[in-house]
Amino acid sequence: MNRLIETIRNIFKIEELRKRILFTVLIILIYRFGSFVVIPGIDPNKLSALQNSSTEGLLGLLNMFSGGAFGNASIFALGIMPYITASIIIQLLGMAVPYFQRLQREGESGRKKLNQIMRFLTVVIVIVQAPGYIKNVLVQLPNDAVTPFDPYVSNPGFFFWFSSIVLLIAGTLFVMWLGEKITDKGIGNGISLIIMIGIIARLPGAFVAECMSRFEQGGTGLLVLIIELIVLFFVMIGTIALVQGTRKIPVQYAKRVVGNRQYGGVRQYIPLKVNAAGVMPIIFAQAIMFLPITIAGFRQTENLSGFLQVFTNINGFWYNFAFFILIVLFTYFYTAVTMNTNQMAEDIKKNGGFIPGVKPGKKTAEYLDTIMSRITLPGAIFLAIVAIMPALVSLMGVSSAFSHFYGGTSLLILVGVVLDTLQQIESHLLMHHYDGLTKTGRIKGRVGRM
């Protein structure tokens, strides 16, 4: 406890770090306030049907990612997910289209162009999604949901539709801008933090509801609740191990003499992460799995049929099977994008190093490719198992709202973002010659930020 108090004091002694933390908190408060700003013309007191429909299933997952804004008919209702979808499309195009490949190689100027294209694409995606969301809101509203100052909602015309779509576009772009500001002037990765805050906002209510339902069952219910918390603890430990797990590859550096000094002749290790892609494969796969509910116009799953019903049932076999396969594929895809083994082999060779028993150059790149393929497979499978864990525990009687925190995107984002943020705070502490957050001073973040 004394160490924790001393660490907090040290954090606030560093002026730059203190300003960054306070700035991040301020931006988060703005985001949370905006999630309760209802689209003009809709009575916030008449949204109970919409909020009830957004507690379970795929709509409940969307509501959790937006921090409740989806169920509040907020201007932030679509949240940051359209931007995530746009980033997925841009990265996929970067693998196949020469123009985007050239932009990726142009450094800062290319990155600015890609960001501009991504923003335009985000607007297009919101324009496609917004009418379906607005239609769903209007269907959920009772007949007397008209506010005195906006009588056109009872028979919504062009002005209501146009203004609502514009506000949803502005809301998504504003949330995206808030995330970028956190990244630039705050602490941690802004987009990841915004998603995490939305998830955390739903945790207390879900946990209290789960506790109340178990207490109503008496002694048996209390025992089940304790077992649930133990399982949650071990799943979290496994998730942390997945995020931080590495395999070290030895690299021997040859001796060289410069003047009267001798350099090299030492062995170092390259840490290759078991889960080099981080949480991105789940976010990519989840964005793909959101497509059916988007096509259906954000309607409740019981009102759907056929293909749409199958792939909007988050506890169903085919939804989770497709989710599992997509995560494994995206893990390999994102690992290939982020881990350039040819560049790693070239860097080792330039610095006079080599992997014992492997020839420098092309053979080293092939060896690193083989190692990455071997360690990525179990990492991808475990990542996929964690992702479908909510569906597994829901079959055991855990409530839908609380089951989201047993795995899936929720738990991985929480663990990954917390580790990333703590790593940045620790870097500031160590840079100013203060003790880190841990005795070893080595908090490992994740790779593959948004």
What total of structural domains would you count in the chain?
1
Residue 28 lies in a domain: no
pLDDT score for 426: 78
Closest to 128 measured CA to CA, from 16, 282, 293: 293
Residue 323 lies in a domain: no
Residue 276 lies in a domain: no
Give the span between the Cα atoms of 184 and 62, in whole angstroms: 27
Residue 216 lies in a domain: no
Residue 162 lies in a domain: yes
Residue 181 lies in a domain: yes
Q: Convert the chain into a string of H (helix), E (strand) and C (coil).
A: CHHHHHHHHHHHHCHHHHHHHHHHHHHHHHHHHHCCCECCCECHHHCHHHHHHCCCHHHHHHHHHCCCCCCCCECCCCCCHHHHHHHHHHHHHHHHCHHHHHHHHCCHHHHHHHHHHHHHHHHHHHHHHHHHHHHHHHHHCCCCCECCCCHHHHCCCHHHHHHHHHHHHHHHHHHHHHHHHHHHHCCCCHHHHHHHHHHHHHHHHHHHHHHHHHHCCCHHHHHHHHHHHHHHHHHHHHHHHHHHCEEEEEEEECCEEECCEEECCCEEEEEEECCCCCCHHHHHHHHHHCHHHHHCCCCCHHHCCHHHHHCCCCCCHHHHHHHHHHHHHHHHHHHHHHCCHHHHHHHHHHCCEECCCCCCCHHHHHHHHHHHHHHHHHHHHHHHHHHHHHHHHHCCCCCHHHHHHHCHHHHHHHHHHHHHHHHHHHHHHHHCCCCCCCCCCCCCCCCCCC
Give 10-residue mean pLDDT values along the chain (450 residues): 69 80 90 87 73 66 74 84 83 80 81 87 89 80 50 63 89 90 85 81 78 78 82 77 75 62 64 76 78 65 62 77 88 79 81 79 84 84 83 76 68 74 77 60 48
pTM of the model: 0.72
pLDDT score for 149: 38
pLDDT score for 145: 46
Q: How many residues does the chain have?
A: 450
Domain that holds residue 158: 35-186
pLDDT score for 435: 59
Dihedral in degrees, nearest 10, Cα atoms 441, 442, 448, 450: -10
User: 385-397 burial, b if ≥16 CB within 10 A, otherwise e?
Assistant: bbbbbbbebbeee
pLDDT score for 26: 92
